[in-house]
Amino acid sequence: MSERVTVTGPPSGSARPPHSPAEVSGGAGASPVRSLMRVQAAYAALTCAIVALVSGGLPLLFASEPALSRIRILGVRLPWLVLSAVVPVVWVAVARRHVRLAERAERDFAAMARHE
């Protein structure tokens, strides 16, 4: 008869599976992957900062200048017009720019990886 063996987890050589592309690539390719991740994180931080500035800046603007809140265009007060028409356009433009920059960083990384 054979001895019974209980398997409780991964082999002790690999304590945990890799969680990031840098860990998956390992070795010499890890530094360029980390660099790509840093660039994309910087683009994401910039995008978030722009959205936060617009989202937080508009209430501050209308609170500091009450006369702006009384302006009506086509019967609609300016704050509502800005919130319903201008803000979504700005957010879409910022999001498209973010995607374009992130994709360009990936293309540059892929081209660099091919030439090495």
Residue 10 lies in a domain: no
Q: Can you tell me the distance from the alpha carbon of 100 to that of 102, in angstroms, rounded to the nearest whole number?
A: 6
Burial of 36 (0-12, 13-18, 19+ CB in 10 A): buried
Tell me what pLDDT residue 4 has: 74
Residue 67 lies in a domain: yes
Tell me what pLDDT residue 92 has: 94
Burial of 109 (0-12, 13-18, 19+ CB in 10 A): middle
Tell me what pLDDT residue 43 has: 94
- Do 27 and 34 form a contact (C-beta atoms < 8 A)? no
Residue 100 lies in a domain: yes
Ranges in the chain, pLDDT < 50: 22
Q: Which two tokens stand for residue 37?
A: 């991740």
Tell me what pLDDT residue 110 has: 87
Residue 7 lies in a domain: no
Average pLDDT over the chain, rounded to an integer: 82
Residue 14 lies in a domain: no
Residue 50 lies in a domain: yes
Residue 63 lies in a domain: yes
Tally of domains within the chain? 1
Q: Please, where are the H alpha helices in the chain? A: 21-25, 30-64, 66-70, 78-81, 87-115
Residue 94 lies in a domain: yes
Tell me what pLDDT residue 14 has: 54
Domain that holds residue 55: 29-115
Tell me what pLDDT residue 67 has: 93
The answer to pTM > 0.75 is no
